[in-house]
């Protein structure tokens, strides 16, 4: 079917064989190359359509945006024209990022404005949640680990998206990567004060989606942290399946009342809480800060325990070196956190700010310091409940590990478990982030929802294991035996699969690329992420 874009056309549907609309006589081939097939959506300032480019071999799909303001007042038309121009300039500027649609064309025809961009095949996060239900805490953390680098990239290019929401984030079918779309509401961070003419054109309307846009954006004063607020609301949607309009809010502060709808860790709740701060000053200012706190979480408990011993230098559990006596600044977030904890212990409860705020780069009032205190208290309560009296040794034998697990301990991050024999063990939901699992025997084990991020699983025996929804990003699985393993919905992006044996493995819904699988061994019994069985 060929679709007519003439706004007043009484019947825009035409057959593919005709070159002009049978109802209004308008040309159906835009710029003599783009044939519109169907509508995709309608916004306040434009409509989007699925089209094919008949001038290219294979006639690939593309997306066409047509300027179509909902009002005809001159200032609204000027604003819509400026927004379209900005979107084209933005995509041309940042569209070389693999998770941002590429700009293909931008032109005016018959006093109508058109923008042509790459078509992203896949499902939006809104569609995924409506179909499959809310995500788990681990799933939302995976989402943040994927989307925050994209946000960091556009902010470094002085671009504020202003319309981040589940409907504008697509899980691309080709490689399962997240793609941020719809840059029609972007705003550049000006190095100088905004011109008077720009203020006149843009201060008549607050741009963004109500509920996702923070107060300062609705007041037409967006900043990069405005995107972080919208991303926080998106996390709430992914965890609950509820739109912000379906949530209560505090009429005094304007804060969303979301915590009663979720069951997540205290640390992650604090991260989201800081993303959703109504006050811009107290909100996260950079995406990198959120990534640092999420990366640090697996090490918080071991860092707290390691600080119970005074003095001494060298490497602590997790591989981080304490700052030396020369007074040099620690070089990693974990090292800075360790210094903050140590400094806090040197002071009493008189209210004096600790050395964390002066030498470590972490203020004692910061979200990270607060989360460390909360985690410290929760760790103490857990040890009291389980009877754990001393810290877990970095090197464990098989019996000790299973004993700790039976007592409720799940955090074995950065531990040395080299060559242990744990066949058919139940270690579901455990945290082995950055642990040494070289040549470990976990044949037939239950490892669903387990965190193996950045772990060394070189030559590990994972034959017939249950690894459903396991997190294995950046894990080293070189030469690992995964024959018959259930890896459905596992997250394997950036994992090293060189020489890994995936014969007979179930990869239905798993997140990984064809390039990764090309390095692994597969056979006709291997089930692809699509659910089909066969060779790659």
SS3 category, 118: strand
Q: What is the pLDDT of residue 61?
A: 94
Query: Do residues 354 and 316 lie in contact, with contact meaning Cβ atoms separated by under 8 Å?
Result: no
Instruction: Name the strands in the sheet holding 169-172, side by side, starting at the edge strand that comes first in the sequence.
Output: 122-124, 169-172, 178-180
Q: How far apart are CA 233 and CA 53, in angstroms?
A: 37
Q: What is the pLDDT of residue 302?
A: 53
To the nearest 10 degrees (0 to 180), the angle between helices 137-156 and 287-296 is 150
Provide the annotated active-site residues.
Answer: 163
pLDDT along the chain (536 residues), means of 10: 86 89 90 91 76 92 81 71 76 83 83 85 94 92 92 90 92 91 64 39 57 87 93 96 91 88 92 94 93 72 50 38 39 49 38 35 41 42 37 82 88 91 93 92 94 94 94 93 93 92 92 89 89 66
Q: What is the pLDDT of residue 11?
A: 92
Q: Which residues pair with 180 in a beta bridge?
A: 169
Query: Do residues 205 and 184 lie in contact, with contact meaning Cβ atoms separated by under 8 Å?
Result: no
Q: In terms of Cα–Cα distance, which of 105, 104, 117, 91 is closest to 185?
A: 91
Look at the block and give the residue holding tokens 């209004």.
24
Q: Which residues pair with 48 in a beta bridge?
A: 41, 65
Q: What is the pLDDT of residue 298?
A: 59
List, by residue range, all CATH 2.160.20.80 domains of the chain. Answer: 392-536
Q: How far apart are CA 43 and CA 87, in angstroms?
A: 14
CATH architecture of 392-536: 3 Solenoid (2.160)
Give the N- to C-terminal CA distance of the chain in Å, as an integer.
Answer: 34
Angle at 433 between CA 429 and CA 434, to 5 degrees: 155
- pTM score, whole prediction: 0.56
Hey, which CATH number is domain 2-118, 3.30.200.20, 3.90.1150.10, 3.10.590.10, 3.90.45.10?
3.30.200.20
Q: How far apart are CA 483 and CA 480, in angstroms?
A: 9
Kindly state the tokens that stand for 472.
């294995």
List, by residue range, all CATH 1.10.510.10 domains of the chain. Answer: 122-188+207-285
Residue 5 neighbours by CB distance under 10 Å: 24
pLDDT digits (tens, 9 = 90+) for 448-487: 999 999 999 999 999 999 999 999 999 999 999 999 999 9
Q: What is the pLDDT of residue 241?
A: 94
Hey, which CATH number is domain 122-188+207-285, 3.90.550.10, 3.40.50.2020, 1.10.645.10, 1.10.510.10?
1.10.510.10
Q: Where are the alpha helices (DSSP H) in 208-278?
A: 215-218, 224-240, 266-275
Q: How far apart are CA 224 and CA 154, in angstroms?
A: 9
């Amino acid at each position: 079917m060929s679709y007519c874009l003439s706004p007043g056309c009484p019947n825009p549907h035409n057959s593919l064989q005709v070159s002009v609309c049978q109802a209004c006589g308008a040309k159906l081939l835009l710029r003599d190359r783009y044939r519109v097939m169907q509508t995709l959506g309608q916004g306040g300032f434009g409509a989007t359509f699925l089209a094919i480019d008949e001038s290219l071999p294979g006639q690939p799909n593309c997306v066409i945006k047509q300027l179509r303001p909902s009002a005809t007042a001159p200032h609204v038309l000027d604003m819509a024209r400026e927004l379209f121009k900005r979107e084209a300039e933005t995509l041309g500027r940042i569209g070389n990022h693999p998770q941002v649609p590429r700009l293909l064309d931008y032109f005016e025809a018959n006093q109508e404005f058109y923008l042509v961009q790459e078509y992203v095949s896949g499902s939006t996060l809104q569609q995924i949640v409506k179909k499959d239900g809310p995500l788990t805490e681990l799933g939302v953390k995976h989402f943040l680990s994927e989307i925050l680098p994209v946000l960091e990239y556009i902010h470094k290019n002085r671009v504020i998206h202003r319309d981040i929401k589940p409907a504008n984030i697509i899980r691309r079918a080709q490689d399962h990567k997240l793609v941020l779309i719809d840059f029609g509401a972007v705003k550049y961070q000006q190095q100088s004060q905004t011109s008077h003419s720009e203020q006149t054109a843009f201060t008549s309307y607050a741009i963004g989606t109500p509920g996702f846009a923070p107060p300062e954006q609705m007041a037409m004063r967006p900043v990069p942290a405005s995107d972080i607020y919208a991303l926080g609301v998106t996390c709430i949607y992914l965890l609950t399946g509820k739109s912000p309009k379906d949530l209560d809010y505090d009429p005094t502060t304007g804060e969303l009342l979301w915590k009663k709808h979720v069951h997540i860790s205290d640390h992650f709740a604090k991260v989201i809480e800081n993303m959703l701060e109504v006050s811009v000053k107290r909100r996260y200012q950079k995406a990198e800060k959120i990534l640092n706190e999420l990366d640090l979480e697996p090490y918080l408990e071991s860092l707290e325990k390691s600080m119970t011993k005074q003095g001494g230098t060298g490497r602590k559990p997790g591989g981080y070196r304490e700052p030396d006596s020369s007074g040099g600044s620690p070089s990693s977030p974990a090292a800075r956190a360790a210094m903050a904890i140590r400094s806090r212990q040197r002071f009493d409860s008189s209210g004096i700010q600790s050395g964390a705020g002066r030498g470590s780069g972490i203020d004692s009032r910061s979200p990270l310091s607060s989360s460390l205190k909360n985690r410290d208290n929760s760790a103490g309560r857990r040890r009291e409940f389980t009877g754990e009296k001393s810290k877990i040794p970095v090197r464990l034998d098989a019996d000790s590990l299973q004993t700790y697990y039976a007592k409720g301990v799940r955090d074995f991050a950065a531990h040395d478990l080299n060559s242990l024999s744990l066949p058919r063990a139940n270690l579901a939901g455990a945290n082995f982030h950055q642990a040494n699992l070289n040549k470990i025997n976990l044949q037939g084990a239950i490892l669903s929802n387990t965190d193996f991020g950045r772990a060394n699983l070189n030559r590990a025996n994972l034959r017939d294991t249950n690894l459903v929804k396991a997190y294995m990003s950046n894990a080293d699985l070189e030469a690992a035996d995964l024959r018959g393993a259930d890896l459905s919905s596992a997250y394997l992006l950036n994992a090293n699969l060189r020489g890994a044996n995936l014969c007979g493995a179930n990869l239905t819904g798993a997140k990984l690329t064809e390039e990764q699988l090309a390095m692994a061994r597969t056979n006709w019994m291997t089930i692809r992420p699509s659910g089909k069985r066969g060779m790659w």
